[in-house]
Structure 1
């Protein structure tokens, strides 16, 4: 492994050697290429600054003339030159030298942007709601000093304390959530076995530098871009970078990329690039160009603006009436305005929502979902489309044999013998994907060597494209078994001419279903010599290989559909493989090649404005590149969808960053984890369903609080403004501060409240929230006004409850009004948190306890307080009891107002009671099974010969929300298609024709179908898509499918023999004769098609 000549040239006495002193290194480091030292790099203070490289030095380095300057051809240069340019040896670096290089090139990881903790804390005070409170604090200090009185210090201090408390709570909760996520992410950090100071040690991969020597063995993730040293070839899985399931062979001198996985062998390698300079890091560069403004921040701003505008209107009216009409004193007007500002602004809203999401993120972490960006929880609750990468996400990224369709081509063999022969030609001690697939089909992998003795094994190589083993059986006879690319095995077969045509037919049929083909053959060696050519080879059969779905993926897709989330497959694999995976998962086969949307070079195709509709309706896309995924997500977002994206490889990172919710699955690469908002720690997608339900619970809590906050703003502004303008009642700003502090302390517990998640994607629907909050707030304001009228203008309470009058004492009236406002304001949260009657839905334990404690404090203050500075004197227990009784009586109509508002604002609510009658259905689960069957029949119309573009026109006719969609994206019409769901017993052809009639004659379904330019645009997009599909799908079946769609024909006959649909499970299967006829149709495919489909065979 060591080169004596190279070692001689790098002896310690050689002045060009990377010497042990810093001075000698600095002489060469001055001319380092930018590949190693970024142009903006500034050495640490402890390291002397290095002069920039001169143009001449750089030129010499690039040409390889200066041994001290690494060039740009390290990927392909001879290994001697690589060591010379990196100024290292096969014995590795010293720790001292590695540390110097680490300062120059930085750690081996993608760049992270760290935020200042102080700025982060102050950021919680920098938002429109905080600005209003800060304005109120300034008013209390600067403006509220008229009438010969000093500034209102108590209100100023109280406001500042309120701001600091809210900011502190938000900061602590976010820090705790961030630290918990960081700790979990740290546990997932990659390791590397590094040769330092002449000895190997395992350490964090982040300390790797160019020139390091590492060991790569079975199962290792390649930590940096490397060149392999001398030794046996490696089998490397590059699916994280390319999306291809089959591992590739890398021999000495080849480059292996960061993020790849070693599947077989063990070899040393020299690091040539780290961090952002790797192939991995360059592909992740797209991530840095994506800047998203969170949807949550936009919503928070709109809610804050509504409250601010409401307060501003109240302030203007108060100022006009108090100063222009009532001619009252300056300070009285300022104090009344302070009441509206302090009481009306929901200053705790950012804190409550942040705490709610932080607590929720802890719960998600326990379920196996690490939340990196907490606002992603809110966005996941409204997610209606989930784009998923196929390899390693929907599938196992592990090849599997489909034993049921193994093709036997020898009269002396059966399926069991073919599998056993293939197992003989496999290694049982490594993790090669194909060998594992074969040996796993045996009861015990050791059966591959039972009763035989291995004589010689020929490993796979790119030239032969096959493996072979020579062995002897118990009777002493010698045989050979081989497996590999069918073309190579066919060349060996003695009966090639007789079976060649049939072999190609089978290969094409497998390829049409997305299956790879593996040829198997055997021969006798009569003379018993392993070097002997042996007897004639017999082609035994073809084994189909497929990357199978994860065991939980089909159920995950189904459950996601039930929750209103449409799953789309976005993969770099071929179209046929994507369709087969979609068929097996029940996702549908309405998939298109990426060239439908983008040119061959990744450029967008003409008329791209119409492609958004195509992306919206497709079940998935195949043959996509990273920039394609990025743009597919963008097109979905442009059509007002809340889009999630799952993935595990660097090729998924740009789309993960662009998506509203980026989800990195277990074992994802560092690039995917850095780009994602949520990182899964458990394999598969099933945890996503739990995360969706949990996020909807969290969102429900946030929405409940928002209704509460809007209601409180309306009730404070309207109630206190009317009392000030009608009776000149000046409530104390300090007491409104006490109400705000107690309310905020209680409302924090909503983060752990008991709620029921929505069964459809949830959304803010701000218009409904504002109207509902205004109705509840207006009602409560009138409660307070009426209560003050009865107390101040009448003797109602004195007559009926025998209490003393307080109408002549404004201080005691303040105590009574304080208690009335405090109690009913906090009681409102029980109304807002429930969907029906509040006393029928059990609240969280902490919420009840917090409410009880807060109101006990409020009652004691109202009864006993004697604070002249706050203009309050205790009213006694009599008035406290009256206040509680009054609030209880007036509390009951709040539920009725809430329910009436929701029914009036939500058309679906009336539909449940009048049209669909779901609430009174006798069907199990309120007809869920029938609705699901209706959805499946509709969404799978493409697989039955229907026209998906026409089918979705009615859903496109519905106006889209400017904020987000809250319904299932492609909602079926409750007409003829619904009847299909109840007549599943009909044959497939009849169902297909009925769906086709429904979808191709929208005028018969009603007047809501899109007409004119909309229909023309949809037809044009569909036609362009089918033409692209026709160009890429060369089989006869694909040709018939595309032509039938282009001409508007019924394509069900072509689809009946290959399309799987959960709706038709249990229906009669196509006859054997029909299947053979269909297979024979593939025989007439042209040579171009045959050549294209051979790509799916093992090579």
Structure 2
């Protein structure tokens, strides 16, 4: 059906609806009939596919070869044990990937887009999935069109349809009836799913949803979040591959040495496999996955919703945060507090969005209906407005821009309501929407005698467009002296921390029917200023201090005036000698802007192009930048920044899709909190990676050292697998849950190119690995008195190296602080994991079925005493090293 060729009454009739919208009951029936408004997604990965994918790795191939070799030499128990461990590893990997898929689905639901619909005459915001044919949808700038819509009303409506038609220029939309053969790109009375509103306002009737839309018929788009592999994970994969390559070389050399020593070939094959298995940290991928998944959940608790895993690591490395002011640094509870009309000020009482309050002049209440200048200003603010004030169960709320909402509330306090001054006889004719470039908004209403334009905008933009001003019931010429005076009033109001809007109007003869913004917005009549207060969030000042201590610079980039921006900056302890305007940024070359950025932290009257330029300079200086944004035009800056942060409450759909993080509460303090979580997560990944590598190196030293000393095989492959997958993996995961170090927000941002293992850390791991490996060989050889003692000697070595590693894990909680600094019990998960792994090893030593599988024999109390005597010095040496290092190198973190 070609909807564009039908008239509005025909469309309403066919869809069995009316301009008041569907009732809730009818909408629910249609949802069942038509299904949810979403595109078909690619076929999800089945649980079986996830499970079998766990077997696609070099490690698994090595283990399977080991199993086959064990079968070949008659070690049937070993063969089945290795196979069981391979399956166990696959189950562990499957569990984590399956959880990740479920978590991704939950995140996708949290990122669900919203749309404004009219149902039973009431404007409401609903999830786009629940839109049905017959719904009346309201379209505003920056929003994504949620379905295919027949337009019933448009005001300067423009839509970017490039994603659908390839047309790069936004298309102007208008109502009317078109020929049935009109091409998709020329259907100006239609708005299509997936396109973006770039200007104006529209209201229309949903004619198709989901796969029945034009988008659904020509493309298979998915709206799922794409999980990207983080740079950290890539570096870990590279590290793992290199370790695997080194392990194979070592294994080959040892096998060759054994052959030279004339050892049995099958024995040497077992030694080679043991070394290869020992060198590879099998538990590392699973632990990384689990830690990253926990990081996503922890970020949500801090009101930071990650759209990809890269964001967590990047946020932790952030060195500059470029933040908006309104709603991020401030409460976004806009309230008109002070009004100026020529030669008169009015204070406005009342808090928040509740439409109750008085207008005071010289501390005396006045009746706005009897003050013509005040009445005209409030009327202009109400009509030049798209916000809607509603009373809900939670109280009074504004649907739309909070600044516009403040003007609606102020007018309602004066008992001025849009339904009383805007009716069928006095309709809205057209609108020229506010944009970051225009910095003003104009609406034109039709009246029987004349048309009237109502305008609001930034004072420095609007005042130059005025040639007259309203004083009481008279209109006077606006002279240069008047301009200077009004500008001074504006500056004085802004210096008090108020956000200032100028308001004006203009009468237009009825014979003018074609309206051009530049012509309409000339020769305006100035009405006055509305001073809107938006107090800083109480927690922001402390967050600023935390960011400063963490070595993070904060730059405020706002569309407000320089005076207002500086006033707010002073309140939150963001110190800047001055505020630079966006127009000044345009004139500065790269070198000049770089110099200014060294001291200036407040930028006012900026648009997205200015943000883009600043971010580019900062990145060229080597900074990792986080940028906040909420508008459709912020998307380039959000993508350009290392970490794009969209506002979850006031942000447009476009901004959210361009961002790496959606800030669920629009609060700057949550960004700083997210930085702390990002740093904690990276620190923990370093901790358990280093720990696992030290454990694996100890195993290599033990096996290779015993080989060089011509001793029997010290550890069997099945024992090594038990250590790497069960005991080490459990404690490594617990290390991944370590709380933030007490200095995590008192040290500078890390270099994102910093390797997991620095040379200094590598030497520490080397020393610890040699210690544990040598003591394991010592305990093994001590019990190897005769051939009959081999089982006990191997049990001592097997149990000993596990105990050494469990003692060593406490060294890796921190290389900067002693245990008494961080608290022995501050990570209860590690204590639980430690006790669990020790208990498991006791079972291995004394429980017959496990004895048979892992080739162990019982140990007596003296044996355990020797193991702990050899192991305790590992912890003592580590604590002495940290204490000495803390005294001499306090500011040099490992």
Calculate the TM-score normalised by the size of structure 2.
Answer: 0.68
Distance 1:511 1:225 in 2: 45
Deviation at 1:227, TM superposition (A): 6.6
Partner of 1:849: 832
Is contact 1:579–1:591 with CA below 8 Å preserved after alignment? Answer: no
Distance 1:344 1:369 in 2: 38
Partner of 1:885: 869
Q: Report the CA distance shift for 1:203/1:467 in structure 2 as closer, same or farther (over 3 A).
A: closer
Partner of 1:314: 250
Partner of 1:738: 722
Please, which of 495, 499, 503 is the counterpart of residue 518 of structure 1?
A: 503
Q: Report the CA distance shift for 1:378/1:162 in structure 2 as closer, same or farther (over 3 A).
A: farther
Please, which of 15, 31, 45 is the counterpart of residue 93 of structure 1?
A: 15
Partner of 2:818: 837
Distance 2:676 2:411 in 1: 41
Please, which of 758, 774, 781 is the counterpart of residue 770 of structure 2?
A: 781
Distance 1:290 1:208 in 2: 25
Distance 1:719 1:456 in 2: 87
Is contact 1:227–1:269 with CA below 8 Å preserved after alignment? Answer: yes
User: 1:55-204 to 2 correspondence within 5 Å?
Assistant: 68=2, 83=6, 89-93=11-15, 116-117=45-46, 121=50, 125=54, 131-143=57-69, 153-154=79-80, 156-186=82-112, 189-190=114-115, 192-193=117-118
User: 1:596-995 to 2 correspondence within 5 Å?
Assistant: 619=601, 636-637=618-619, 640-657=622-639, 659-667=641-649, 668-730=651-713, 731-740=715-724, 741-756=726-741, 758-759=744-745, 760-762=748-750, 765-766=754-755, 768-769=757-758, 771-789=760-778, 792=781, 809-834=789-814, 835-840=816-821, 841-842=823-824, 843-862=826-845, 867=851, 870-897=854-881, 908-909=891-892
Distance 2:604 2:263 in 1: 74
SS in 2 for 1:229: strand
Would you tell me which structure has more strand in proportion to its own residues? 2
* Corresponding position: 1:348 with 2:273: no
Distance 1:628 1:288 in 2: 31
Partner of 2:152: 229
Per mean C-alpha deviation after superposition, the further-off stretch among 809-818 and 833-842 is 833-842
Is contact 1:216–1:262 with CA below 8 Å preserved after alignment? Answer: no
Is contact 2:16–2:134 with CA below 8 Å preserved after alignment? Answer: no
Instruction: Name which one, 1 or 2, has greater alpha-carbon Rg.
Output: 1
Q: Output one character per residue of 1:822-871: Cα deviation in whole Å (capped at 9) or x when no partner.
A: 11112222211133222552342232122112112213433566856755
Q: Report the CA distance shift for 1:398/1:879 in structure 2 as closer, same or farther (over 3 A).
A: closer
Q: Report the CA distance shift for 1:732/1:615 in structure 2 as closer, same or farther (over 3 A).
A: farther
Is contact 2:326–2:534 with CA below 8 Å preserved after alignment? Answer: no
Pairs aligned (count):
755
Is contact 2:688–2:736 with CA below 8 Å preserved after alignment? Answer: no
Distance 1:549 1:269 in 2: 40
Is contact 2:803–2:838 with CA below 8 Å preserved after alignment? Answer: yes
Deviation at 1:872, TM superposition (A): 3.5
Q: Report the CA distance shift for 1:681/1:510 in structure 2 as closer, same or farther (over 3 A).
A: same
Deviation at 1:879, TM superposition (A): 1.0
Q: Report the CA distance shift for 1:629/1:716 in structure 2 as closer, same or farther (over 3 A).
A: farther
Q: Report the CA distance shift for 1:780/1:348 in structure 2 as closer, same or farther (over 3 A).
A: same
Deviation at 1:175, TM superposition (A): 3.2
Q: Output one character per residue of 1:966-1009: Cα deviation in whole Å (capped at 9) or x when no partner.
A: 9xxxxxxxxxxxxxxxxxxxxxxxxxxxxxxxxxxxxxxxxxxx
Q: Report the CA distance shift for 1:434/1:277 in structure 2 as closer, same or farther (over 3 A).
A: closer
Q: Report the CA distance shift for 1:587/1:268 in structure 2 as closer, same or farther (over 3 A).
A: farther
User: 1:114-513 to 2 correspondence within 5 Å?
Assistant: 116-117=45-46, 121=50, 125=54, 131-143=57-69, 153-154=79-80, 156-186=82-112, 189-190=114-115, 192-193=117-118, 205-206=128-129, 214-216=136-138, 223=146, 229=152, 294-324=230-260, 326-389=261-324, 393=328, 403=338, 406=340, 408-409=342-343, 423-425=374-376, 426-427=378-379, 432=385, 448-449=414-415, 490=468, 500-506=479-485
Q: Report the CA distance shift for 1:641/1:163 in structure 2 as closer, same or farther (over 3 A).
A: farther
Is contact 1:423–1:439 with CA below 8 Å preserved after alignment? Answer: no
Deviation at 1:708, TM superposition (A): 0.7
Is contact 2:382–2:411 with CA below 8 Å preserved after alignment? Answer: no
Q: Output one character per residue of 1:526-562: Cα deviation in whole Å (capped at 9) or x when no partner.
A: xxxxxxxxxxxxx997425568575358535554333
Q: Output one character per residue of 1:685-733: Cα deviation in whole Å (capped at 9) or x when no partner.
A: 3322322223333333222112212212222222321122223330211
Partner of 1:543: 529
Deviation at 1:812, TM superposition (A): 0.9
Distance 2:867 2:288 in 1: 31
Distance 2:684 2:711 in 1: 38
SS in 1 for 2:263: coil
Partner of 1:1093: none
Partner of 2:168: none
Q: Output one character per residue of 1:414-438: Cα deviation in whole Å (capped at 9) or x when no partner.
A: 7877986555232598893799979
Distance 1:439 1:625 in 2: 22
Is contact 1:515–1:545 with CA below 8 Å preserved after alignment? Answer: yes
Partner of 1:1034: none
Unaligned runs of 5+ in 2: 18-26, 163-171, 177-187, 216-220, 347-359, 389-401, 433-441, 448-453, 457-461, 507-524
SS in 2 for 1:873: coil
Q: Report the CA distance shift for 1:117/1:297 in structure 2 as closer, same or farther (over 3 A).
A: farther
Deviation at 1:147, TM superposition (A): 5.7
Is contact 2:70–2:79 with CA below 8 Å preserved after alignment? Answer: no
Distance 2:73 2:820 in 1: 49
Q: Report the CA distance shift for 1:502/1:559 in structure 2 as closer, same or farther (over 3 A).
A: farther
Is contact 2:772–2:804 with CA below 8 Å preserved after alignment? Answer: no
Is contact 1:418–1:540 with CA below 8 Å preserved after alignment? Answer: no
User: 1:1012-1091 to 2 correspondence within 5 Å?
Assistant: none
Distance 2:819 2:637 in 1: 43
Q: Output one character per residue of 1:303-351: Cα deviation in whole Å (capped at 9) or x when no partner.
A: 3245335424532442342223x23222222222222222221222222
Q: Output one character per residue of 1:478-521: Cα deviation in whole Å (capped at 9) or x when no partner.
A: xxxx9976555816669877752123224556788795433599
Is contact 2:327–2:666 with CA below 8 Å preserved after alignment? Answer: no
Q: Report the CA distance shift for 1:456/1:621 in structure 2 as closer, same or farther (over 3 A).
A: closer
Unaligned runs of 5+ in 1: 1-17, 19-67, 71-80, 242-248, 280-284, 471-481, 522-538, 599-604, 796-803, 911-965, 967-1099
Q: Report the CA distance shift for 1:213/1:119 in structure 2 as closer, same or farther (over 3 A).
A: same
Deviation at 1:772, TM superposition (A): 1.9
Q: Report the CA distance shift for 1:437/1:766 in structure 2 as closer, same or farther (over 3 A).
A: closer
CA RMSD for the aligned pairs? Answer: 5.9
